[in-house]
A and B are shown apart, each in its own frame.
Chain A
């Protein structure tokens, strides 16, 4: 269950946030919260939140109508609405095409859909066991047709190189 600290600026809507049968809390689009939110279940934000959000290993979703300005720590984060702040995720962050995100992202994995409005700094935790594709001569055997190699252009900067 989620717990939060209250602030004087809180706006409590007559239609309150609720816990769904599937074990997640939804902050509805008519709800605005200012302060810290801590929880141990999934959280969906369709309303407005300013402050901090800590969900340990759980999933935070900022829905298409959500407006969030917060420092976020969660297991996974999906952004489809507006989010300004920093995300630290244990596993993955998904930014959908409807997202408007500015801030920093630290995660193990990230996905971004075309069209997302991003201004971000991204740090992906590197798995030391996984080997990155080595840089080498490209293998053109599939993509290139014989005799159709690119033609290097000699420019001013190439001279003497």
Chain B
């Protein structure tokens, strides 16, 4: 079975030391943090799943951090029998509000039509030159459940399962992801040995 690129014991003092002991060092997160450092008065949108470590990490690097947990909202809508398209009402921010958006793996929890709609919304919400972080889960069974990518030291990302969320995973090839995220332009991408892929997209 495929495994993560980096497998190691989670530090005992880590707040989630008893969870799935999987983490790896994220190249895209490092690039995104470098980009934020170069911008002034940055505004970033994190669409979740909400996790305290990420709120702390990001809020120390930006002027204003916007958090709107779309995973939780889509999960609640789905349980109420509402169509996925209803979820976008929550992203009611003015155009060109953000320097960066963290989508994590949300696009792969959506049907293609809705994923394309999400990309269009991101394009509208981003300032020119703004960046979007997208993750695409691989084949490992640990990724069948929704995970929070919890930011640790040294740009390590810990996978913390979110069992309260029930959103089906759609497996996609790279070309599908790139096409789906148009009109955003891919500027960097990485693949890890278990199939996890990281993409950094940019507004023109």
A7 to chain B, nearest CB (A): 30
B170 sits at the interface (CB 8 A): no
Residues 139-154 of B, flagged 1 when their CB comes within 8 A of A and 0 if not, give 0000000001000011
A15 sits at the interface (CB 8 A): no
B50 sits at the interface (CB 8 A): yes
Summed over the interface, the residue pairs from A and B with CB atoms below 8 Å come to a total of: 140
B37 to chain A, nearest CB (A): 6
Residues of chain B within 8 A of A113, CB atoms compared: 52
Residues of chain B within 8 A of A143, CB atoms compared: 6, 8, 23-25, 154, 156
A116 sits at the interface (CB 8 A): yes
B105 to chain A, nearest CB (A): 15
Assess the A122–B60 pair: CB atoms within 8 A: no
Assess the B178–A156 pair: CB atoms within 8 A: yes
Q: Which residue of B lies closest to A115 (CB)?
A: B164
Option from A137, A140, A152 in Cβ contact (under 8 Å) with B190: A152
Flag the segment in B78-86, B115-123, B180-188 that touches A. B180-188
B87 sits at the interface (CB 8 A): no
Q: A121-B65, A122-B59, A123-B63 are in contact. Are A115 and B187 (CB under 8 A)?
A: no
Assess the A120–B67 pair: CB atoms within 8 A: yes
Residues of chain B within 8 A of A139, CB atoms compared: 154
Assess the A148–B154 pair: CB atoms within 8 A: no
A161 and B200 alpha carbons, distance in the complex (Å): 13
Assess the A140–B59 pair: CB atoms within 8 A: no
A62 and B57 alpha carbons, distance in the complex (Å): 25
**In the complex, which of the residues A148, A150, A158 has the most CB atoms of chain B within 10 Å of its own CB atom?**
A150
Q: Which residue of A lies closest to B16 (CB)?
A: A114
**In the complex, which of the residues B25, B56, B61, B164 has the most CB atoms of chain A within 10 Å of its own CB atom?**
B25
Q: Is the interface of B mostly helix, strand, loop or mixed?
A: mixed
A92 and B170 alpha carbons, distance in the complex (Å): 39
Assess the A119–B189 pair: CB atoms within 8 A: no
B46 to chain A, nearest CB (A): 9
Within B18-43, the residues touching A (CB, 8 Å) are 23-27, 30, 33-34, 37
Residues of chain B within 8 A of A156, CB atoms compared: 178, 185-186
Within B142-179, the residues touching A (CB, 8 Å) are 148, 153-156, 160, 162, 164, 174, 178
A: residues with CB less than 8 A from B are: 110-124, 126, 132-133, 135, 137-140, 142-145, 148-158, 161
- A-B contacts, 27 listed (Cβ < 8 Å): A110-B59, A112-B51, A114-B49, A116-B50, A117-B73, A118-B68, A119-B69, A121-B65, A122-B55, A123-B59, A124-B60, A135-B30, A138-B26, A144-B6, A144-B25, A145-B5, A148-B193, A149-B5, A150-B5, A151-B190, A152-B188, A152-B189, A153-B189, A157-B185, A157-B188, A157-B202, A158-B189
9 A-B pairs besides A135-B33, A137-B30 with CB distance below 8 A are A112-B67, A115-B162, A120-B66, A120-B68, A121-B65, A138-B25, A140-B25, A153-B197, A158-B189
B: residues with CB less than 8 A from A are: 5-8, 23-27, 30, 33-34, 37, 48-52, 55-56, 59-61, 63-69, 72-73, 90, 148, 153-156, 160, 162, 164, 174, 178, 185-193, 197, 199, 201-202
